[in-house]
Structure 1
Amino acid sequence: MYAAVGDRLIVRSNRVGSPIRDGEVLEVRHPDGSPPYVVRWSDTGHEALVYPGDDAEVHHFHHEEPASS
């Protein structure tokens, strides 16, 4: 798993009925983008150091290039 600042971390619980959590990656601790990540959770606004497990995935944020004139 690899992430960059601005990506979304999505965590899907393996228990039925548990909510899906998502948060914005605020900080990546390794130059290669591997965990851990500092994440701000969207449901609480809490910032935490996260070591994602098998139930997590990264949705990459793609920066759009400005249109040239």
Structure 2
Amino acid sequence: MTVVKIIKVLGTSNESWEDAARQAVAEASETVDDIHGVEVEDWTASVEDGGITEYKATVEIAFPVHESA
């Protein structure tokens, strides 16, 4: 039986929502092994003077729970 853990992370980018999602996965992969899938839960942005200044992607990241040795 496989058990999967899901964590929620927020990625940010000055370029796009897609880049914000990529940043979220890249940062999570620094400390999480065997990421098997992601689901973008929400797209948001910071706005100043009528323009988007920062794109944000809330991403759920799925990875298997391994048995301890």
- TM-score, length of structure 1 as denominator length: 0.32
Question: TM-score normalized by structure 2?
Answer: 0.32
Compare the two structures and name the one with the higher strand fraction: 2
Bigger relative contact order (CA 8 A; separation at least 6): 2
The structure number with the bigger radius of gyration is: 2
